[in-house]
A and B are shown apart, each in its own frame.
Chain A
């Protein structure tokens, strides 16, 4: 039985007077991979950042409408709670440069001042790094700085950092656009593994990627959610002709 994790109703977001996300209604089912695609500048990132309330950190940014996590309005919760439950991975890998690989993984605990016994910390680090298929590569250099890793490894480290907090939802903003093809495929494989425990929302402007990794796809166009359906249907039989045009490459 599918249950809904994230539910938006009439959701809007703006930068000052620039209205960039318009009236979005969407239901995101648990333990699925959702791809969000659309041309550049159509508001994908903005919408994603509204889900865990990162959007409001930009001066002048505002939003309205309903955004629910498990029937609880995200905007009635304190942002700290929201972000503990909804993790995020950014476009560019951003490990903490002052922390070791080990400390980067448990950064969410360490920097939040949550004290854990050593054994528990070790378990979390190993578990999280294993989840992102990085454990074998770094288990002998856990005390090195995270910035020594390659771009693809850094991005997986950032995913491990988010996974370590055991969130319900993981947000990815074009997680592979700064990576080489091999690292990209490693990260894409992770998505299948991770959806067993988490719900993944992945912004991408790469249609093939959306088709490869997602169960459902949302298509944004000029701030509107044009179409949202099973990925298979979206790519074979889209209902809206804007989606049709995008998929067949008639924009961009």
Chain B
């Protein structure tokens, strides 16, 4: 083989390597650009006043996003209360029944649920919880978000518990422990870090969800804490104000975006650190 040919092949190889590097690191650019821009546009808007006041009508400057903050927290809390117990129990069920037919269908359903577009969940929640009661409500929004949390909680619980050695369960059963105590006192405590990471990840995911809330929680220009009433949330506020033609409202949306972004990224990074520290596999 001629040296020149080898040289050509090596050159081509390096060429592709460099191209790969460039393309790979180009992916970082949009994220940095978004972070940079949101911080730049949002950071000047955020102050104490911004956090504790509700939006002012069009034309007046000032105003804050207290209603959206409170609403987001409430809606997420209620969604968690619904989704976490169901998700963990279904996850326990799947890890305890690896072969049964019900488990097969349940696993398939979880996979399906994971891929359902969020807008579709919104439609369904509308027909289940809005239309029958004749009004938009925070509760229906929570239910929609809970559906989105479920697959993440179920999967992380199942994967965590599957990794625990059988000997742990046998040790407990051999002491004459009833099954529910084996689960609650031994299996879940030992796997708690993995389950918690899944829960945090699922909360991070729903925090930024807008589409399922459009026809459920709907939004509310005022501060409301009633679960049976329409309620504002951060992503809803950002959507509505960002697409409005008013500059003051855009400012509000930038501030809200920064808060939402920090919140979501914090949850994600925190989960990552915790999973690494606890050596959890997700």
| Direct contact between A and B judged by beta carbons closer than 8 A | yes
- A interface vs B, CB < 8 Å? 52, 54, 57, 59, 79-84, 87-88, 90, 92, 94-98, 107-108, 110-113, 158, 161-162, 165
Query: Which of B98, B167, B176, B185 interacts with A83 by CB under 8 Å?
Result: B176
- Interface size range on B against A: 20 to 34
List, in ascending order, chain A residues with CB within 8 A of B185's CB: 110-111
Instruction: Return 13 A-B CB contacts under 8 Å, by A number.
Output: A54-B173, A57-B170, A59-B99, A82-B176, A83-B175, A90-B167, A94-B168, A111-B172, A111-B186, A113-B181, A158-B171, A162-B175, A165-B176
Q: Within the complex, what minimum Cβ distance (angstroms) separates B93 from chain A?
A: 14
The interface residues of chain B lying within 8 Å CB-to-CB of A162 are 174-175
Please name the residue on chain B nearest to A91 by beta carbon: B167
CA gap between A79 and B175 in the complex, in Å = 10
> Cβ of B175 and Cβ of A107 under 8 Å apart?
yes
Contact check, A57 vs B171: say whether CB atoms are below 8 A apart: no
| Shortest distance from the beta carbon of B99 to any chain A beta carbon, whole Å | 6
Docked CA distance A158–B167 (Å)? 12
Known pairs A97-B190, A98-B189; A108 contacts B175 (CB<8 A): yes
Whether the Cβ atoms of A161 and B181 lie closer than 8 Å is no
A83 adjacent to B174 (CB under 8 Å)? yes
A203 to chain B, nearest CB (A): 14
Contacts of A108 in B (CB 8 A): 175-177
Q: Is the CB of A88 within 8 A of B176?
A: no
Partner of A92, one of B167, B174, B190: B167
Cα–Cα, bound, A108→B170 (Å): 13
CB interface residues, B 153-188, toward A, < 8 Å: 165, 167-168, 170-178, 181-182, 185-186
A57 touches B175 (CB 8 A): no
Label chain B's interface by main secondary structure: helix
**Please, which residues of chain B bring their CB within 8 A of the CB of A161?**
171, 175
Complex CA distance for A112 and B172, rounded to whole angstroms: 9
Residues on A with C-beta less than 8 A from B170 are 54, 57, 88, 90, 94
CB–CB B173/A112 < 8 A = no
* Distance, CA A180 to CA B177, complexed state (A): 31
Contacts A98-B189, A111-B185, A111-B186 given; indicate if A87 touches B173 (C-beta within 8 A): no
| In the complex, residue of chain A having the shortest beta-carbon distance to the beta carbon of B184 | A111
Q: Are A52 and B174 in contact (CB under 8 A)?
A: yes
User: In the bound complex, do residue A57 and residue B176 qualify as a contact, i.e. CB atoms below 8 Å apart?
Assistant: no
Question: Once bound together, how far apart are the Cα atoms of A72 and B54, in whole Å?
Answer: 73
What residue of chain B has the Cβ atom nearest to residue A58's Cβ? B166
Docked Cα-Cα span, A165 to B171, in Å, equals: 13
Of the candidates A54, A82, A90, A98, the one whose C-beta lies within 8 Å of that of B190 is A98
A88-B190 contact, Cβ under 8 Å, with A59-B99, A94-B168, A111-B181: no
With a cutoff of 8 Å between Cβ atoms, the chain A residues found around residue B173 in the complex are 54, 57, 79, 83
User: Please, how many angstroms separate the alpha-carbon atoms of A107 and B176 in the complex?
Assistant: 11
Please, how many angstroms separate the alpha-carbon atoms of A241 and B98 in the complex? 44
In the bound assembly, the distance between CA atoms of A97 and B189 in angstroms comes to 10
The CA of A79 and the CA of B174, in the complex, are separated in Å by: 9
Once A97-B190, A165-B176 are accepted as A-B contacts, the answer to whether A112 and B171 lie under 8 Å apart by CB is: no
A45 to chain B, nearest CB (A): 12
User: In whole Å, how far is A146's beta carbon from the nearest beta carbon of chain B?
Assistant: 11
Q: A83-B176, A90-B170, A95-B171 are in contact. List 4 more A-B contacts (CB 8 A).
A: A59-B99, A80-B178, A111-B181, A111-B182
Q: How far is the CA of A184 from the CA of B99 in the complex (A)?
A: 39
Contact with A along B180-205 (1 / 0, CB 8 A): 01100110011000000000000000
> A90 — nearest CB in chain B belongs to which residue?
B167
Chain A CB count within 10 A is highest, among B168, B176, B177, B178, for: B176
Q: Could you tell me the distance between the alpha carbons of A214 and B165 in the complex, rounded to whole angstroms?
A: 31
Q: Give min CB distance, B163 to chain A, whole Å.
A: 13
Nearest to B190 among chain A residues (CB) is A98
Report, nearest first, the 6 A-B pairs whose CB atoms are least far apart: A84-B176, A83-B176, A88-B174, A108-B175, A94-B167, A111-B185
Cα–Cα, bound, A111→B177 (Å): 7
- Contact partners of B99 in chain A: CB under 8 A: 59
Q: How far is the CA of A92 from the CA of B165 in the complex (A)?
A: 11
Specify which of A96, A107, A111, A162 lies most central, judged by the most chain B CB atoms within 10 Å of its CB.
A111
The residue on B at minimum CB distance from A97 is B190
In the bound complex, residues from chain A placing their C-beta under 8 Å from that of B167 are 90, 92, 94
* Assembled-state Cα–Cα distance A111/B172 (Å): 8
Q: Which of B173, B174, B177, B178 is most buried by chain A, counting CB atoms within 10 A of its CB?
A: B174
* B residues in contact with A90, CB < 8 Å: 167, 170-171, 174
